[in-house]
Every structure is written in C-alpha cells, then in structure tokens.
Structure 1
Amino acid sequence: MNIVMNAIRQNRKKLLTFSAGSIFYTLFLLYVWTLFSETFGDILNLFPKQLQIIAGFGDDLSTAGFLNGEFMHLIGPIIVGAFGITLGSSLIASEEENKTIDQFLALSISRNKYYIEKFLSLICLMLILTTVIGITLQLGVFIYDINLDLTNILYASLGLLIYGITCGSISFLSGSIFAKNSTASLIGAGIAILGYVLDSVYKTVTSLSFVKYLSLHYYYNNNGVILNGLDYKHFLVLFSIIALSFIIGIYIFNKRDIKS
C-alpha cells in the first residue's frame, strides 16, 4: 500500500484545491436556495420547459429538486469529473513522462502491483472528495436549517463517486496506453463533455433519442440520483466501464515498453 499512500501524498494539493472549491460552492448554493426557495417555482417558470429539462429541473421544487438541477446535473459532475480526469491522466502517465516510474519498478515491484495500487489511489482520492461534498451538504442542512434528508445526501455522494471514478478510469486507461498526460486528459475530458452534450441532445430532439446510450451523463443522472436513488441498470453500465478500463489497461500496461 506504499504506492497508494505515496500517490495520495503527491496529489494532496489537488485534493485540497478541489475540496475547498466544493465546500465553497456547495455552501454558497445552499445559501442561494434559502433566499429563493419560496419563489423558486415562479423563477423556473420564466424559462421554457425544454430548457428546464435540459438543465436538470423537473416538477420537484424541494431542496433535493433544486440541487438536482443546480448541482447534480452540471457543477457536481464537472467537479468530480475534472478531479477524476486530472488524477487518472497523471497517476501513471506523468510518472512515466518524468521517468520516476523506474524508481518503483526497480524495487522489484511488479507491474500488476504498481498498476493496481495506482488505481486504488484514484478510488481513495475520489472517495475522500465525494465524502467532503456529502459532509458539506449535511453541514449546510444544519447551518441554513433546510429540509434535505440524509438519504438524499448519501445518494448524491455515491452517484458522484461512481461518476468520478468512471471518468478517472477512462483517463487512467488512456494514460496506461499512451503514457502521455495531455493525451489521457484530452480523451477523458472529451468523453465526459460529449456525454453531457448527447444528454442534452436526446432530451430536445426526439429522433436522436438513441444517442443517450452513448452518454456517461445519461447513465449517471437520468434517474435524478439525489431524488430517486441509483438506477442499478444504469450504474451497472458505469461499473462495467470502470472494470473494462481497469482490465484493458492492466493488460496493455504489462505488455508495452515503459518509457525510461
């Protein structure tokens, strides 16, 4: 587990930065909700129904309904997705680019052990960030005395965790294949952004509804995870992507030449 702890230490500044940003934005968003909770429905009706749907808002005007649109649909995935992509693209690729990977492999550490523990560090770091988000939501409930069940918070944290790991695992796979941080980041970010775009397209263009099956965002939050919990079939798809990324990545990492 030394590799895991070393990776966590190396990425502690990223973790602190993303955590601080998450805390600030979440508390600010909940404060905004206290200002407009009584008139939220009226404000929402100023916008076309189709735009409301694209933005992730439905008929639920509760705190959870507000957070589903304002946080879970866009900002939350951006935070955890960016964090996962940043980690996934750098955990192996950056060390290979900087030639520091040799220090580990020279210690008779197998490639399997190195790869697995690096992947575990991605999961651990993502778990810490999403736990911070969950605790911040609960803290906001106490500070602002708003109505948000612990169950909704747990749903939100778990959904964001799985989405973040999915984005991170795609970048991790890309880094394992191409050994370039920039390439891995570009692939991970491209897939995540495309997923959001396709999610918006299928909601507005009936004839293109099939594109939703190509969208990570669709599988992550089509069910309104903070409101209704996990859609197990959809999250099974995300788990499958994580598993396939891990399996393909470790196979290729073991077969190819390491830059030194």
Structure 2
Amino acid sequence: MNGILPVFRRSLRDSWRSLLGWTVGLAAVLLLYLPLYPSLGGNGQLQDIISALPKQLVETIGYDQISSGAGYTQSTFYGLMGFLLLTIAAVLWGSAAIAGAEESGRAELDLAHGIGRGQYALESAVAVLVRLLWLGAFSGFVVWSLNDSAELGLAGSRIVGASAALSGLAFLTASAALLAGAATGRRVWATGVGAGIAVVGYILQALAKQSTDLDWLNALSPYAWVYRQSPLADGVDPGGLALTWGLALAFVVASIVALRTRDLRG
C-alpha cells in the first residue's frame, strides 16, 4: 500500500456504499418523525397520550418533555432512533476496523507492506471517526432544514451541540470496539464490548430515573453524560461532552498500544 494515509483512504473507499446507506436511513427517520410534530406535539394531542402512560415509563424513555419541539426532537431522534442507528453503525465499523481485518487476514498483509501497527490502528480509528462525524453533521443539517416547517423552534447552536453529543456517544462506542479488537483480534469480542458500552450506558440512566437513590448511576453512564441535560432544550453539558470525547480518544490511544504489543493471529 502506497501514498499518504493508505489505511484511512482505503477504509473510506471501501465503505462509501455503507455510509450512503446509513445516511439515507437517518434522513428517512428524520423525515418520518419530525414533520409529525405540528399535528401531534403542537396541539397537545401527544401530551394527552403521554399523560395516560405511567410516569416512570415516560421518564425512562425520555418522553416527559415531548410536548415541546426540543423535547420531541430529543426524545424521538437524538435520544432514541438516532442513538440506535449511530450505535449500530459504530459497533459494525469499530469491530471491523481491526478485529475484522485481522480475522480476514487483511491486517497481516497490510502490515507486511511496511505499515506500522500504531499507524494502522490510528488510521482505522480516524476513518471510523470521519464516518460518524458525517452522520452526526448530516443529521444536524436535516434537523435544521426541517426546523421551521416542522415548527420545532430549535436554536441552531443547540442543534450543533446535540449533533456533537450524538457523534461523541457513537465514537465512544466505536473506540471501545476498536480497543477490544486491537487487544483480542476477535470480532466477537469487539462487537460485544462496543454494544455493551452503549446498552449498559442506556440502562444505567434509565435506572437512575426510577429513584433519586439511584441518581449516582448517571455518573457511570455515557448516555447520561451527554443527555441528562437536554442539549436541545438547555444546551449541551460541556463537562459531559468533554468526558465522552476524552474517553473515546483515550480508547483510541489504548488501541494503538494494544495492537503494537500483541502478536497478531496467524
């Protein structure tokens, strides 16, 4: 492999169809949910439905503020469908970046052509990051473009913050999968760790909403770090956002170290 950033360039080239598919999927979800707000949330109809549900269930799924444009967008997309879709993409891309390449034999072949292990891990991580940033930015753009027609009343700066939170949460998942793949060389472990970070984080914040005695669980949940304070309604929490991105970058550094110190599978 020759040229500048060979692993990064090949990764983007090989995954453009996948990236296009995820982009279309996110657009479809946003175009399905957000235009419904004026007929549901705007006239109180949705709030009446939510009021009929158990309070703890409503708080668990984040529908307690759904009657506002910010609450509706956060509850339906950023906190649920967008989170789900970007998490799946992050797990797939993160587990394939190193572990998948090693299991297929491609990583060993690339390293035999003079690419350092640290470089391989770093470029793989950057390739995943660029794709997730694209999905986050694209989602924010679609939300912004629908803001007026869907009567959401969202501030542009808060859309940017919500998209940064969503992208950071997804990259944390991907970097965890990347680290597990670099440490074990097994895709099943990479997938399990990446998915586990996302699922456990979501469950912990859901449990924390059930009782004030469990509020401390929010400190252990990456989901709560970025969403306990609604980015769209109250602005993104700088500390939670910094912690999420910082831990993701730490996982990338750990991936580089892990790959450099481990014997690759034959």
Q: Point out the more displaced range, 165-174 or 34-43.
A: 34-43
1:235 aligns with 241
Measure the CA separation in 1 of the matches of 2:259 and 2:196: 22
In structure 2, the residue matched to 1:152 is 158
Structure 2: how far apart are the matches of 1:86 and 1:108?
27
Contact 1:173–1:246 (CA under 8 A) maintained in structure 2: yes
Flag structure 2 segments of 5+ consecutive residues without an equivalent: none
* Aligned residue number for residue 50 of structure 1: 56
- The partner residue of 2:253 within 233, 247, 250 is 247
Q: Is the 8 A contact 1:88 1:172 kept in 2?
A: yes
- Between the two proteins, what is the percent identity of the paired residues? 23
Query: Counterpart in 1 of 2:9?
Result: 5
The match for 2:174 is: 168
String of CA shifts for 1:203-230, please: whole Å, max 9, x gaps: 1033322222221211121111122222
Do the aligned residues in 2 keep the contact of 1:64 with 1:152 (CA within 8 Å)? no
* Partner SS for 2:263: coil
1 CA distance for matches of 2:80 and 2:150? 23
Residue correspondence of structure 1 range 1-260 to structure 2 within 5 A: 1-36=5-40, 37-39=42-44, 40-59=46-65, 61-141=67-147, 144=150, 146-260=152-266
- Taking the aligned partners of 2:53 and 2:26, their CA distance within structure 1 comes to 27
Q: 1:178 to 1:25 in 2, by over 3 A?
A: same
**Paired residue secondary structure (1:204):** coil
* Matched-pair contact (CA < 8 Å) for 2:177–2:194: yes
Shift in Å at residue 144 of structure 1? Answer: 4.2
Q: How far, CA to CA, are the matches of 2:215 and 2:200 in structure 1?
A: 15
CA RMSD of aligned residues (A): 1.8
Once structures 1 and 2 are overlaid, which stretch shifts more, 191-200 or 143-152? 143-152
4+ runs deviating over 4 angstroms: 142-146
Partner Cα separation in structure 2 for residue 43 and residue 162 of structure 1: 32
Structure-2 separation of matches of 1:126 and 1:213: 25
Query: 1:138-180, CA deviations, whole angstroms, 9 ceiling, x for partnerless residues?
Result: 2323554653332232122111111111111111101111111
Range 7-16 or range 143-152, more displaced: 143-152
Contact 2:94 2:174 (8 Å CA) reproduced: yes
What CA distance in whole angstroms lies between the structure 2 residues aligned with 1:226 and 1:145?
14
Are residues 119 and 53 of structure 1, via their aligned partners in 2, closer, same or farther at CA, if it must alter by over 3 Å? same
CA pair 24-223 structure 1, distance change in 2 beyond 3 A: same
Using structure 2 for the length normalisation, give the TM-score: 0.91
Number of equivalences? 260
